[in-house]
Amino acid sequence: MLPMPIVNLLEAGQELARTGRRVRVLWQHDDTLAFVARGREYRSEFHINPSDETMYMIKGEMRLHYRTPEGNEEIAVIAEGAMIYTPAGIPHSPRFAPDAFALISERKRRPDEIDRFHWYCPKCDTLLHEERFVVDDYRKDPVSAAYARFFECLEFRTCKRCRAVMPAPAAL
């Protein structure tokens, strides 16, 4: 494919901030998929991705919450200009400010692959809800779709064990 795309990452992030959008897909092909994302102030879910993933902080800092195989929540801090490699299957939750921008690189999903989004109880850490998505096109912003389904349903947000409720954000 010629000409090959060249992207100014800082300008791509600034455009998101200016327009209020969250994601700009740079390209998506079978073996490479890249997008610039702006932080989400309300981000609370853990994404389980069937593809390996790298995240590079263009501007600002990311706190990447993730869950170990033992089920513990830990945090990796990724400074501006730094990058992290997240292998497929690790539940992870990228938390960064709306004026911070990250470059995310994955590969396009294969036909039988499913992405999962998990939310945990803020009080007792029990799994609250799982959303499953076939991510065939990142331009559809699957994270926003998962959030809308979760936060619009009080039952999904209510812990079956301790009855605590995850509060809905002021705006999605």
Nearest residue (CB) to Fe ion, 109 versus 157: 157
Nearest residue (CB) to Fe ion, 83 versus 153: 153
Of the candidate residues 25, 76, 97, 164, the single one contacting Fe ion (CB under 5 A): 164
Is residue 159 within the footprint of Fe ion (CB under 5 A)?
yes
The residue behind tokens 């600034």 is 14
Positions 67 through 126 that interact with Fe ion (CB under 5 A)? 121, 123-124, 126
Q: 50 CB contacts (<8 Å, ≥6 apart)?
A: 88, 89, 109, 110, 113, 114, 115
Nearest residue (CB) to Fe ion, 36 versus 166: 166
Kind plus residue range of the DSSP H or E element containing 78: strand 73-78
Cis status of the peptide bond prior to 122, with omega within 30 of 0 = no
Is residue 162 within the footprint of Fe ion (CB under 5 A)?
yes
Is residue 63 within the footprint of Fe ion (CB under 5 A)?
no
Phi-psi region of 146 (alpha: psi -120 to 50; beta: other; left: phi over 0): alpha
Residues forming contacts to Fe ion in the complex (CB under 5 A) are 121, 123-124, 126, 159, 161-162, 164
